[in-house]
Amino acid sequence: MTSTNFDPRILKAPHPVPGAPDNWKRFFSINTDAKVIGIQYIATSLLFLLVGGLLAMIVRGELITPEADLVDPTVYNGLYTMHGTVMLFLFLFPVLNGLNNLLIPTMIGAPDMAFPKLNAAAFWLVPVFAVLLMASFFVPGGPAQAGWWSYPPVSIQNPLGHFFNGQMLWLLAVALSGISSIFGAINFVTTIIRMRAPGMGFFKMPLYCWTAWGAQTIQLIGLPALTGGAIMLLFDLSFGTSFFKPEGGGDPVLYQHFFWFYSHPAVYVMVLPVFGIFSEVFTCYSRKPLFGYKFVALASFGIVFLSLIVWVHHMFYTGTPNWMRILFMFTTMTIAVPTGVKVFAWVATLWRGKLRLTTPMLFCLGGLVNFIFAGITGVMLGTVPIDIHVGNTYFVVAHFHYVIFNAIVLGVFAAVYHWFPKFTGHMYYEGLGKLHFALTFIGCTLNWLPLHWAGLLGMPRRVASYDPEFAIWNVIASVGAFLLGVAAIPFILNMVSSWARGPKAPPNPWGAIGLEWLLPSPPPAENFEDDVPTVLNNPYGYGLDQPQVADEAFYVRRAQEA
Amino acid sequence: MTSSDPSVQLDHTPGHIKHDGHNLTGFVIFLCSESIIFLAFFAGFSLFKLTSPEWLPAGVDGLEVRMPLINTIVLVSSSFVAYFAERYLHKGNLWGFRIVWFITMLMGAYFVYGQYVEWSNLKFGLDSGVFGGTFYLLTGFHGLHVITGIGLMGLMLFHSFRPGNYEKGDMGVTSVSLFWHFVDVIWIILFFLIYVWQRY
């Protein structure tokens, strides 16, 4: 046996791999394969990125002149409320769950998620609450108008008296979104804890899995608090309780605690996976091991812990006692430490690396620069005096869009490009990708950088009209917003045409290290099936003589032959 | 070590089902997460009780404790009964399991009935200020969990009649009885918050 050239395992693995599905209809069916669900999530969420972007462009169209002239001010309230809600609950959470579905099982060598049916249920809740949320445009009184945070007493007004009003549908949609996210979180955490390949200890896991694990832990701890608050708000709105009504002995500030106990950590739910994407992409395209792997991994859970004890910094100006302000200012400052550890690790990874400026690398570099800027304004906002001065101005809006769009969404785009060949089996067009990056980076900088000035000068957020002295900043911002709309065109063109007729992708087009790159592109339904590789090292051994798995040559050959 | 070694084969006996362990892990994670909702409601209740200027609605001077106390005793002891049912199952005594498991369900049902009687005798409603709201929210949300628990136990009882069901492991029963203990612990905290604390 030992003298023959045939590896018996090659003969055992049937070719073509069974269930390596080649039919597009499965993406439109109820399917339990994590890779199908992942692509369903990502496609659905990108559709809602367009919806949310359209709402944003109407808002920016309104703000291009100081007068409230394009839309009615109450319509404007509904527009920004729905923009925020759609972008968070229908774009960012689903797109990250989609990436989790694609990446977690393939990166840890699992055949699927731990609970495939629960996974499908979590995805199919998304269209359900999407319909609920979109339906609120058509009920009497229009959609919810209380902003994405829905503070009472604004959110418990029901002037028309209809039971099915926009706010009520909003609350139902948020509750369903919460259930979907909890289903997802249970699944992702269980999969990471219990289904890793042999030999893959926690400190040999890819960083994307570390950060996704941290992010989903936050979902499990924080989301129930928001759900509890939302249930109470729904009772106040529809069933006559007075949890948040001072006239019945209630307390409106309690809702703010419930809301921010989840919604501040929610930012880390979104940004942590992007930290993971940065770690994967920077190492791959600079051909260097990740600097301080263990510290970067542990910093993820440092962020998880700290993110749960900072929420009151959103409430410095809503009747918070001074001792609480000082305490939460302190905890907010300390969160810069684990985040700083990560940023230094990435910079040290890039330092003297052999950089390849592909589209995902460009998006990550742009995202990192923007994230550092957003971190600086974040520390500014965490200090009580500055926060009270600029609270509820465009400075806050500019800060969180720098985090959420300029860093997180750029990272998400990087991930979509980086893993596109792996999961579709086709290469994307590099030229269109770079055009998409250039338009996005210029657009997002024009859009949100000037608004920092407008905010520092005192331009209030959530108002359709403003003082003419802020006009110049708003004109620049609106131009940037429309440029972001234009940037969608090369992206859509690239995705659709590459998938339909792009060149066929090899198993490992980037020369990257990681279990997912040892699979054929696209991977078969059960990933490694019975031949799960034994992991020896973490997947960042670029330039080191340090194979990630035992018998790597066998898996490389198998992927190429599939 | 060859594959004929008995210690290696042990892992592949019919009792070893790979996914059972996942179910229990997932369920424990779910329970931890679910407890946060209760924690949020408890925190809200405590805050209102401590700070609200008008706590009890007009014409109400507190809650009667005797009936809820009996209810508490029934629910807490049902947790021990569920534990004995589980022991029977582990010993392979299927009928012992079914009977004792059914007694647990009956005790749960008695608790729900007691809750119903208490609710129907109260002089305040959901809209009676923040006291009425929190009272009905907490007891109602907990009651929903009790009803869910009874339903899940019924499902497990039904499964036990499927031939050979528990030969491959009893994770379903373990999860449900874990859920029952969880509901029980929540009730104890709730009882102290709502009924005992009002005296002080």
On chain B, the residues whose CB falls within 8 A of the CB of A193 are 25
> Is residue B124 a part of any domain in this protein?
yes
> Is residue A21 a part of any domain in this protein?
no
Read off the pLDDT of residues A65-103 as tens digits, 9 standing for 90 and up: 999 889 998 899 999 999 999 999 999 999 999 999 999
Interface test with A, best of B36, B136, B137 (most A CBs within 10 A): B36
> Is residue A550 a part of any domain in this protein?
yes
Give the pLDDT of residue A22.
65
Angstrom distance (rounded) from CA A503 to CA A501:
7
Read off the pLDDT of residues A329-364 as tens digits, 9 standing for 90 and up: 999 999 999 999 999 999 999 999 999 999 999 999
Helix (H) or strand (E) holding A342, with range, is helix A336-350
**Domain containing residue A165: CATH number:** 1.20.210.10
State yes or no: pLDDT of B61 exceeds 50: yes
Give the pLDDT of residue A1.
39
Quickly list DSSP for A13-61. S-SSPTT----GGGGGS----HHHHHHHHHHHHHHHHHHHHHHHHHHHH
State yes or no: pLDDT of B38 exceeds 80: yes
Give the pLDDT of residue A16.
44
What's the number of domains chain B is made of?
A: 1
> Is residue B187 a part of any domain in this protein?
yes
Give the pLDDT of residue A25.
79
Quickly list DSSP for A149-213. TT-TTGGG--TT--SS-HHHHHHHHHHHHHHHHHHHHHHHHHHHHH-PPTT--GGGS-HHHHHHH
> In which band, very low, low, confident or very high, does the pLDDT at B17 lie, cut at 50, 70 and 90?
very low
What's the number of domains chain A is made of?
A: 1
> Is residue B148 a part of any domain in this protein?
yes
Give the pLDDT of residue A425.
92
> Is residue A330 a part of any domain in this protein?
yes
Give the 3-state secondary structure of residue A393: strand
Give the pLDDT of residue A347.
97
Q: Do B37 and A241 touch (CB under 8 A)?
A: no
Spatial contact of A143 and A82, defined as CB atoms under 8 Å apart: yes
Tokens of A464: 């359709």
Instruction: Give the whole-number percent of chain B exceeding pLDDT 70.
Output: 87
Give the pLDDT of residue B175.
92
State yes or no: pLDDT of B159 exceeds 80: yes
Read off the pLDDT of residues A265-305 as tens digits, 9 standing for 90 and up: 999 999 999 999 999 999 999 999 999 999 999 999 999 99
Give the pLDDT of residue A91.
97
Secondary-structure percent of chain A, ordered helix, strand, coil, rounded to 5: 70, 0, 30
Q: Do A221 and B37 touch (CB under 8 A)?
A: no
> Is residue A13 a part of any domain in this protein?
no
Interface test with A, best of B17, B18, B22, B54 (most A CBs within 10 A): B22
State yes or no: pLDDT of B166 exceeds 80: no
Domain range for A226 is: 37-561
Mean pLDDT computed over every residue of chain B: 86
Give the 3-state secondary structure of residue A549: strand
Give the pLDDT of residue A529.
79
Mean pLDDT by 10 residues, chain A (562 residues): 48 46 78 93 97 96 93 92 96 97 96 93 96 93 91 89 91 94 96 94 96 97 94 93 90 94 95 97 96 96 96 92 94 95 96 94 97 95 94 95 96 97 95 97 96 95 93 96 97 96 93 94 86 92 90 89 78
Secondary-structure percent of chain B, ordered helix, strand, coil, rounded to 5: 80, 0, 20
**Domain containing residue B71: CATH number:** 1.20.120.80
Residue B167: other Cβ atoms inside 10 A = 10
> Is residue B14 a part of any domain in this protein?
yes
Tell the residue number behind the tokens 């804890």, with chain if given: A193
> Is residue B183 a part of any domain in this protein?
yes
- Residues 114-153 of chain B whose Cβ lies under 8 A from any Cβ of chain A: 126-127, 129-134, 137
On chain A, the residues whose CB falls within 8 A of the CB of B32 are 220
Spatial contact of A429 and A497, defined as CB atoms under 8 Å apart: yes
Domain range for B168 is: 6-199
